[in-house]
Amino acid sequence: MNFGRRAEYRVELSETTDLAVAVTTSGGSPVAGQLIDISASGAGIRFDAPNPPNLVVGQDIDLVFTSDTFKDPLQVAARVQHRAEDSQEGSRRYGFRFLEPQQLDTRLPADARRMFNRRQAVRVVPDTFEPVRVTLQPSEDQPPVEVRLLNVSVTGVGVSLQPALETEFADSIQVNITLDLPGRRRPVGLVGHIRYRRLVGDRIHYGIEFGAKLSPGFARTQDLLGKYVARRQVDYMRESA
């Protein structure tokens, strides 16, 4: 089942984290790597030169996590999803998908589960035949600008806009958002924070996180968004049946 976007956001780990990882293959010795990011469904790991492991995409391996918060090392079965080379540094980066994510629930200490970011929300894409109109407003004294919705969840939205509009938002981190959800007579309004900006093709993508404390009636708005997300998930299931 494909919901259009990854269900969990990966957590970017700081250099100060004590969470360490090594990869082991059948009959091989553990090779320590640098944990780059992690989620409830997988992890990104970099292995430095001169001898990064030579793993095949699709290969099943074991990842062994250690931390001061763990009583014992945590071994998780995983599969190589992607591989990238750094020709200048000689390092190699892998993306791994956990094969038995339930191991995290049964073996992770409660305090450690937050590192795996299990509470983030599923993102869905709008129906082509039932688009969701979205506007962003950089400040109260500037007019709202219509943008294209890429995905939406109960915690935020992804949008794209023409590069020429980026100048209007260059000095803005906080923006006002309106969403015209299908079946609603009035748009819902929220306040959001632009968390990333990325040039993709000939457009710029924004990732915006909703501000719960700044958005009036946020609980009710989240409920409306939750119903829309659930409805789109049902649509996906029908399409894939």
- Top pLDDT among 151 and 6 is at 151
Residues 107, 144 within the same domain: no
Are residues 109 and 140 both part of a single domain? Answer: no
CA distance linking residue 224 with residue 218, whole number of Å: 10
Number of structural domains found in the chain = 2
* pLDDT score for 109: 60
101 and 181 fall within a common domain: no
The 10s digit of each residue's pLDDT in 96-120 is 988 877 666 666 665 555 555 544 5
Q: Determine the pLDDT at residue 206.
A: 95
Residue 127, in any domain of the structure: no
Q: Could you tell me the pTM of the whole model?
A: 0.55
162 in the same domain as 105: no
Q: What is the pLDDT of residues 153-209, one digit of tens each?
A: 888 999 999 999 999 999 889 999 999 999 888 999 999 999 989 999 999 999 999
Q: Residue 72 belongs to what domain range?
A: 11-116
Given a cut of 50, whether residue 14 has pLDDT beyond it is no
Looking at the structure, tell me whether residues 106 and 149 fall in a common domain.
Answer: no
